[in-house]
Amino acid sequence: MSDFKSSPSGVLHGIRILDLTQMVAGPLCTLLLGDMGADVIKVEPPEGESARHIGVNRPGGESDYYLSMNRNKRGVVLDLKTADGIAALKALAAQVDVLVENFRPGTMERLGLGFEMLRQTNPGLIYCGLSGFGSDGAYRDRPALDPVIQAMSGLMQLTGTPDSGPLKTGLLMSDFVPPLFGAIGILGALRAREQTGIGQRVEVSMLDATVFSMVPREQFYFSTGRTPERLGNAHFQLAPWNTYATQDERYVMVVAHNDKYWLNLLAAIGREELAQDARFATNADRLKNRDVLDGLIAESIARHPLDTWLRLLVEADVLFSVVRDFPDVFSDAEIRRTLIESIEHPSVGELELLRTPIRLETHPVSIRRPPPRLGEHTAEVAAEYGFTLPETFQ
């Protein structure tokens, strides 16, 4: 279990982040910055942000969503429906380096907290807006969540089978990719400010980021005018590329994107003669005869249990993996060594979290604080930044 008070300073040590985000995309952006050493002040309404109320699975009433996204932050409660709350936020915004928000476009301006107003008292402010569709254009006022963006971006149309119809991905792809671009944009803006002394607005839309995440699929469309086929675990341009069931009803994902791995696979399954079969001579031939080829591979894989295939496929240097469930993944010694860290949380007790997978040699990312309880640091931050403490905390 880590001692979150003794972790080394990160590359963003000394950078102050004002976090006005909720749910997933925004909090993940500020989590990344916090893991790299920034001091993140998370501002929530009196009832707490939306993620506190989704996936409440802990005995103390904590939410999976909230715990996952909010370590390395100090928690402050401000009611932005009151004059005192607005004044306190302006006091914070005047002194921080970066503000991140994911309100619907126009909300901050209506509160008198838009970028143009805040930069008057803090010309070095970097203001990052993460929204569904950006701050201008025909879609800007529409509400957005991950599945809506997956559908609108075309990502959902790529996922599934001919029989299933379009499916959303199993992870929050449209919530996950935008904060990565947001964090990159903020880092770039911080670098520019070192040269100019002036901050700037950084904007990332969930729709733009998700469409961009489909590279290189867009080039197939630009060159053919067609949407890639929905093929389940198969690939629309490469074969073999699929999952196959073992004798004991486990699945292995097998990929042979070039001749080396094609021949390695044939050696592993004992079907070397297929290398001379004209139906499978080239990738184009294998694509034309994909159903026959998948049937032959499936027949071979079904002859042995998983343990046998683990040995044979590794020995033959096949590009493959077992299709693992969460118990498989999170009991893997390598995953536990590189990605899982336990810290002490005041109400949860021992809390396992996933480390950020960025490896920096001299200033490593670190988990220094557990996710804050609602308003936990309001008094501390009020004293530090010199604003009037909300009545609730007096």
SS3 state of residue 345: strand
The answer to whether 233 touches 301, Cβ cutoff 8 Å, is no
State how far the Cα of 242 lies from the Cα of 252, in Å rounded to an integer.
Answer: 8
State how far the Cα of 253 lies from the Cα of 294, in Å rounded to an integer.
Answer: 12
For every residue of 225-272, DSSP letters joined together read S-PPP--TTS-SS-SSEEEEE-TTS-EEEEE--SHHHHHHHHHHHT-G
- State yes or no: is 163 an active-site residue: no
Residue in this structure with the two tokens 């804050």, named with its chain if needed: 372
Please name which of 263, 268, 127 lies closest in space to residue 203, comparing C-alpha atoms: 127
Please name which of 201, 184, 203, 208 lies closest in space to residue 102, comparing C-alpha atoms: 203
Length of the chain: 394
Sheet strands side by side (includes 319-322): 241-245, 251-255, 319-322
Task: Using DSSP bridges, classify how beta strands 251-255 and 241-245 pair: parallel, antiparallel or unpaired.
Answer: antiparallel
For every residue of 53-113, DSSP letters joined together read GSSB-STT--BHHHHHH-SSEEEEE--TTSHHHHHHHHHHHTT-SEEEE-SPTTHHHHTT-
Which candidate in 35, 39, 146, 175 is catalytic? Answer: 175
Cα 88 → chain centroid: 31
The answer to whether 357 touches 367, Cβ cutoff 8 Å, is no
Residues 6+ apart with CB under 8 A from 208: 134
The single-letter DSSP state of residue 203 is E
Positions annotated as catalytic residues are: 175
